[in-house]
Structure 1
Amino acid sequence: MAHETAAAFPMSRAPQCPFDPPPDLHRLQEQAPLTRVELWDGTTPWLVTRYAEQRTLLADPRLSSDPRRPGYPFPSPARPGAGGNIGFILMDDPEHARLRRMVTAPFAIKRVEALRPAVQKIVDDLIDEMLAGPNPVDLVEAFALPVPSLVICALLGVPYADHDLFQGHSRNLISRSVAPEQRAASFQALHDYLDRLLEQKTDQPTGDLLSQLVARVEAGELQRSDAAGIGVLLLVAGHETTANMIALGTLALLEHPDQLALLRDGDDPKLVAGAVEELLRYLNITHTGRRRVALADIDIAGVTIRAGEGLIMANDIGNRDPDVFPDPDELDLTRDARRHVAFGFGVHQCLGQPLARLELQVVYSTLYRRVPTLRRATALENIPFKHDGAVYGVYELPVSW
């Protein structure tokens, strides 16, 4: 495709289909696995729309995640890391692997599974509070946002009492519409906040993840600023993504009552685990794609990606690839969707995915069973969707019962 005919990216969803990728992404996927798109700054990176090519490229060490490299496809004028180091997520190996290993242990499957009773108590307590409070209520504020915020705060050692501070700045970091200066200021505020917590734990370690990072700093394995950057990354990613999956997943289920009934009326843990995977595939809330830049020429699917060219792996449409998921636009909680790429693929796949899965399993197996008459309290067209950010969801979800 000639550059002058490249479609603008990101693309708009169809208003009547808020859970589906933009129709233009479906069209591009049908045409070819890779095509050029035009970004806000006039650059024309490759958009990768098919599942097989996405997995192949995400596993290719000739692609870089480092936004400092020329050709990196920025989603907005606000640069990642503006004002400081945002942790290992936008680094390449070996430094990426070295830093990531420092925080891997708490997210191991067995360690995370041990948190299930604590997560269950958080979910039950919040449902108790919701049922005892006003009806209708905004599910985002009353439930979806507090659940992962409480969990990640306990894991990191961050006071939940400060949730207004870190949630507000987190919203700025993942919004494409925020001015670069405001984004940089929010990052700096969060970085300073985490740095203060690290200082406190230097004098009084408490056994949490931030205290473990302090020990790495004291051992000379990690700079204090890098430790604060890792803290920012884990705090933001640890609550924003799961909160949006809880709210958007609930709304999707309310719009598919036959699928909701499977969760509400059943008690099979395997069904619940499978439902989480299918909702992750179907909704795929990180909807601006995994972004990379080529370090060398790469031949794939009949095209040559040149060194220095940017790539965007559009995993939302990758998870709707009919060659991998039959009837991909159907929400089917009995589908085996474990091969989805909602958490990415390769060395940069989401570190916190075991924790996210656990939280979603507890939520989806508890909320609809305890509140069987849960329903929307406003028309679907009145619900404000997050079309302006790196994480898709709803700003609010009024519900009643």
Structure 2
Amino acid sequence: MHTDERLVIAYPFDPAPTLDLEPEYGPILLGDSLVRIAMPVGGQAWLATAHAHVKQVLSDPRFSRAAATTPETPRLSPEMIPASSIMAQDPPEHTRLRRVIAGAFTSRRIELLRSRVRDIVDDLLDGMEQAGGPADLNTHLSVPLPLIVICELLGVPDQDRERFTALAEKLTSRELSGDEIARARTDMEERLRLLIADRTLARGEDLLSDMLDAQQEADRLSEAELVNLVVALLVGGRGSPSVFLSSSVFTLLQNPDQWQLLCEDPTLVPSAVEELLRYVPIGVAGGFVRVALEDVSVGDTLVRAGEAVVPAMIAANRDGRVFEEPDRLDITRERCPHLGFGHGAHHCVGGPLARLQAQVALDALVRRYPRLSLAAGERDTDWETGRVVRGLASLRVVW
């Protein structure tokens, strides 16, 4: 078994903002071993990059999320996820929490939202046209769309959305101190408790009301679990989908042959979204850390009990053993078993909603603006820095 720990690589590899997968992943993907990395917080871990290895780490119950939430656990951000969070649980506790919200995110239920999402997209693009170009697509579409959708789904009032957005930004920061992030989480939790108290008195036709009903059923949901479920939905439901949509449009416009193909045949939008989920790296590093509960072999590496492993889905999605020409964007790719939404028990519950929003938005863009292009100088655009996701600070376009 390979257990050589002499070479330790600083991780994430390159702090420079980019949508290109860092070249350091290339030689690692060619092997069958994990590599040792030094994380920004908590010390060393193993890095899994191969598609098969990442799937194993994400699905093998011997790799625990609950065991990875101690102050000593290697991690990307100073934030300590609360033990009551769904992101910090293993089955069966994780299964119990996920069941409370899973019904709202089935493909069938999400498909019922398509018409409403289409109306939101059309309204946002109408506003962009009225403002005139060049226009920042982030301001007019990529940022507000996921925020409006997740807040409507949960039943968050309009007047609370700006504050929740600001707090969510802090929770995904890599530059704030642990104390600052903890204060932001406390602030968000307190505001959510006020919202929950209001909804307790007057139910609505929304997911939060459904969750409150579930809380009243014996052993289904504690108050802390309810609050942290809503936090996870708000943070995850607006941040990553926004970055993905903006990054996807940027990527397509940098590959004009693919953009033109999509404009000529909008029926390719669903396959384009799947390819973009594979191709576009959203995180600046791998996914949530897992800790081995016992000795586990991954490829030819022996991970000892208690050691941390980072599953890098962004690298696994470029594994040439799974994807032909993995570094080429191909929206007609027929086989695309990407890990953009993860795998296993923690597979992203909001995946169908994020997929739907991207499909509707891209369909509207290619139909309305077949001549869409980056505004002058946008190839040297500004990037957001210091976050756990990589994204454009703005995306100025003309049409």
TM tier relative to shorter chain: over 0.9
Letter in 2 for 1:193: R
How far is 1:179 from its partner? 1.5
How far is 1:380 from its partner? 4.1
Pick closer, same or farther for the CA change 1:13–1:176 going to 2, 3 Å: closer
**Identity in percent:** 36
Which of 272, 275, 280 aligns to 1:278? It is 275
Gap runs ≥5 in structure 1: none
By relative contact order (CA 8 Å, sep 6+), the higher-ranking structure is 2
How far is 1:146 from its partner? 0.8
**1:176-211 Cα shifts (integer Å, max 9, x gaps):** 112112111111121112111111110000021111
Work out whether residues 253 and 260 of structure 1, in 8 Å CA contact, stay in contact via their aligned partners in 2: yes
How far is 1:163 from its partner? 2.3
Work out whether residues 33 and 298 of structure 2, in 8 Å CA contact, stay in contact via their aligned partners in 1: no
Work out the CA distance in 2 between the residues paired with 1:179 and 1:95.
Answer: 30
Equivalent in the alignment of 1:225? 224
Work out the CA distance in 1 between the residues paired with 2:324 and 2:338.
Answer: 13
How far is 1:351 from its partner? 0.3
Moved more, 294-303 or 118-127: 294-303
How far is 1:313 from its partner? 0.7
**Within-5 A mapping of 1:178-193:** 178-193=176-191
Query: Aligned pair 1:55/2:55, yes or no?
Result: yes
Pick closer, same or farther for the CA change 1:321–1:14 going to 2, 3 Å: farther
**Within-5 A mapping of 1:62-211:** 62-66=62-66, 67-69=68-70, 72-81=73-82, 85=84, 87-211=85-209
Moved more, 148-157 or 130-139: 130-139
Work out the CA distance in 2 between the residues paired with 1:57 and 1:307.
Answer: 13
How far is 1:4 from its partner? 4.5
Letter in 2 for 1:5: L
Gap runs ≥5 in structure 2: none
Query: Aligned pair 1:25/2:22, yes or no?
Result: no
**Within-5 A mapping of 1:240-259:** 240-259=239-258
Pick closer, same or farther for the CA change 1:386–1:360 going to 2, 3 Å: same
Letter in 2 for 1:278: E
Pick closer, same or farther for the CA change 1:24–1:33 going to 2, 3 Å: same
Kindly report the root-mean-square deviation, in angstroms, between the aligned alpha carbons of the 2 structures: 1.8
Work out whether residues 149 and 160 of structure 1, in 8 Å CA contact, stay in contact via their aligned partners in 2: no
Pick closer, same or farther for the CA change 1:222–1:164 going to 2, 3 Å: same
**Within-5 A mapping of 1:302-381:** 302-381=300-379
Secondary structure of the 1:46 match is: strand
Letter in 1 for 2:38: E
Work out whether residues 57 and 290 of structure 2, in 8 Å CA contact, stay in contact via their aligned partners in 1: no
How far is 1:13 from its partner? 6.7
Moved more, 366-375 or 58-67: 366-375
How far is 1:27 from its partner? 2.3
Letter in 1 for 2:11: F
Secondary structure of the 1:45 match is: strand
Equivalent in the alignment of 2:286? 289
How far is 1:400 from its partner? 2.1
Moved more, 338-347 or 3-12: 3-12
Work out whether residues 149 and 238 of structure 1, in 8 Å CA contact, stay in contact via their aligned partners in 2: yes
Work out the CA distance in 1 between the residues paired with 2:304 and 2:27.
Answer: 25
